[in-house]
A and B are shown apart, each in its own frame.
Chain A
Amino acid sequence: MSEPEKSERTKRIHAIKFAAILSVVCCLLITGASTGLKSFQQENRTLDRQKNILRAAGIVTLDAKPSREQIQSLFQEKIHEVEVDATGNFMETGEGKGLSLYLYREGKTLKAYVIPIESRGLWGKIKGYMALEADGETVAGFTVYSHSETPGLGGEIEKAWFQKNFIGKRIFNAANEFVSIAIAKGNVDTLAEKARANHVDGISGATLTGKYLTQGLKENLKQYEAVSVRLRNSKGITDE
């Protein structure tokens, strides 16, 4: 074997060795970080979701920054997780058949119910909550806790100014048909008077995020339409 060939060979072996060692080290680092920190992350995520449910229901305001203890105690006291069957009746969770839903009760009266929203976005999934008042048609609040939209453009969906626009909107139109809430292109003021109650202001530069979220809201809310119908038909109903 000639000299240059041999050095070429050692070089190659060195490269393979180096690549193997580097891969193993990086793998260990990432796996270590992800498994070692999992319980902390899980706790943070749960807390963040609870905070967003409280915000959607209007128990804390969109701008408020409640502490860990406040979130846990408020959630414990006022929020009750249930499942919904095909006719819009509430069942205790655990049967695993129905859709998941959070009820906000003050004492025995139902104040609002919170629907988990999972929508397509421009770059990834948008996850959040939409709360409807006990009348089954008025939006009590909307929050987003996870998304991958562009910061400053579609990413504005996580901001209070955007979410505030949902409060008081209706998911039924003037003719009492289910229409969900749509994100307008531009300001709601530019729309026809009738449509304004079913639209919120859009975000400039984020037309597609708005379009996907509009679709997503409609699909999600549609699944829970039975609840809306039941509550609308029996005003002041108790949920037991």
Chain B
Amino acid sequence: MSDGNLTLKETFLRGIWKENPVAYQVLGICSALAVTVQMKTAIVMGLALTVVTGMSNFIISLLRKQIPSTIRIIVELTVIASLVIVIDQVLQAFLYDISKQLSVFVGLIITNCIVLGRAEAFALANPPLPALLDGLGNGLGYGLILVAVAFVRELLGAGKFVGISVIPQAWMDAGYAHMGLMVLAPGAFFIIGLLVWLKNSLPGASHEEKTGQ
């Protein structure tokens, strides 16, 4: 990627919408299926990933001139994994409740291909500050899609919004039933597919327009 001419603002915003990691780069789908049954877990995961992507991009960008190209992937993974483990240890010692909430997310963050994808595609070729912003932007973009998917799944699947029931009892009495499919992984596939379609059909955001195909 030749991103030399991008302003810092563009670098940051690009990940959130135009080149959104889920909707445009199609990365991080596995975890997007796992944690989008409820909005609360989606928000926690989105924030956690934003912090990690930002920091790993920053560190890898600092090391970019030293990293031998032959072993760069394993180096990136080592940095990311160590970073996540150290953060988890600190949380366990001082913010135990947050650490318990994050429990399994920790593993999901290390294996999330967005972190590695951004390190590989951006941090290796750019200075630390843009790399940090790129990481934060992509993390937020991922979080945005997660929250959107979780909103639909939680509303249709459980009739709730951030854990609060929103379907009036009168509807339930009239025979309204929750959509069981939304709670299961295939529900997320449908929603993500529809979201990607929606995003790409909006002007100025489509893949075809950008590449001219």
Contact = CB atoms under 8 A, between A and B. Distances in A.
Interface stretch (B20-28, B90-98, B193-201): B90-98
Interface in B172-204: 180, 183-184
A204 B183 contact: yes
Interface string A192-227: 000000000000110000000000000000000000
Given A18-B68, A123-B104, A152 B93 contact: no
Given A29-B82, A152-B36, A155-B104, A37 B90 contact: yes
A148 B34 CA distance: 13
A14 B68 contact: yes
Contacts of B78: 22-23, 26
B66 to A, nearest CB: 6
A11 B68 CA distance: 7
B92 A41 contact: yes
B105 interface: yes
Nearest to B95: A44
Interface in A117-149: 123, 147-149
Nearest to A37: B93
Interface residues of A, number: 30
Contacts of A23: 78
A38 to B, nearest CB: 8
B59 to A, nearest CB: 11
Contacts of A87: none
Contacts of A41: 89, 92-93, 96
Contact of A37 (B35, B71, B92, B103): B92
Interface string A139-180: 000000001111111010000000000000000000000000
A1 to B, nearest CB: 20
A11 B180 CA distance: 56
A29 B85 CA distance: 9
Nearest to A13: B68
Contacts of B103: 147-148, 151
Contacts of B82: 26, 29-30
Given A44-B92, A151-B41, A30 B68 contact: no
Interface of A: 11-12, 14-15, 18-19, 22-23, 26, 29-30, 33-34, 37, 40-41, 44, 47-48, 123, 147-153, 155, 204-205
Interface of B: 34-38, 41, 45, 66-68, 70-71, 74-75, 78-79, 82, 85-86, 89-90, 92-94, 96, 100, 103-105, 180, 183-184
26 contacts: A11-B70, A12-B70, A14-B68, A15-B68, A15-B71, A19-B74, A26-B79, A30-B82, A30-B86, A33-B86, A33-B89, A33-B90, A37-B90, A37-B93, A41-B93, A44-B96, A48-B100, A123-B104, A150-B34, A150-B35, A150-B104, A151-B45, A152-B37, A153-B34, A204-B180, A205-B183
